[in-house]
């Protein structure tokens, strides 16, 4: 897990959006204590729901935050862009070749 990578990204995203740290916690409906622990890379057991709410509050793809949090190495997703490698992520997660994953689940 790379809580430091996630913390760095969160700081950059907050600055890019020009909102306060307290406002992010309010928008994501998480405690300020949890938010500050994420920012200090002191939270190593964040809930998936917390990551998802943060992604929405920070207007960023949830998959990108998950990749950072899970330490999947350097990603090339820009701060304002969406990832286009969801199939590859699912393939690695499910152990299925990427070309065999379809939107219908077949």
> Does residue 6 contact residue 41 with C-beta atoms inside 8 Å?
yes
| pLDDT value at residue 2 | 77
| pLDDT value at residue 21 | 92
Low-confidence ranges of the chain (pLDDT < 70): 1, 73-106
* Distance from C-alpha of 20 to C-alpha of 40, rounded to nearest angstrom: 16
| pLDDT value at residue 18 | 96
Q: Is CATH 1.10.645.10 the classification given to domain 3-100? A: no
* Distance from C-alpha of 64 to C-alpha of 46, rounded to nearest angstrom: 15
Enter the pTM of the model. 0.65
Alpha-carbon distance values, 36 to 31, 48, 103 (Å)? 9, 17, 37
| pLDDT value at residue 52 | 94
> Does residue 22 contact residue 32 with C-beta atoms inside 8 Å?
yes
| pLDDT value at residue 34 | 92
């Amino acid at each position: 897990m790379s809580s430091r990578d996630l913390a760095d990204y969160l700081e950059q995203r907050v600055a890019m959006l020009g909102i306060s740290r307290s406002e992010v916690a309010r928008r994501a409906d998480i405690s300020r204590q949890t938010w500050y622990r994420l920012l200090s890379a002191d939270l190593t057991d964040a809930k998936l729901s917390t990551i998802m709410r943060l992604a929405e509050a920070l207007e960023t793809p949830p998959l990108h935050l998950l990749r950072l949090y899970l330490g999947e190495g350097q990603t090339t997703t820009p701060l304002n862009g969406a990832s286009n490698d969801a199939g590859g992520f699912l393939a690695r997660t499910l152990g299925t070749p990427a070309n065999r994953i379809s939107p219908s689940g077949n």
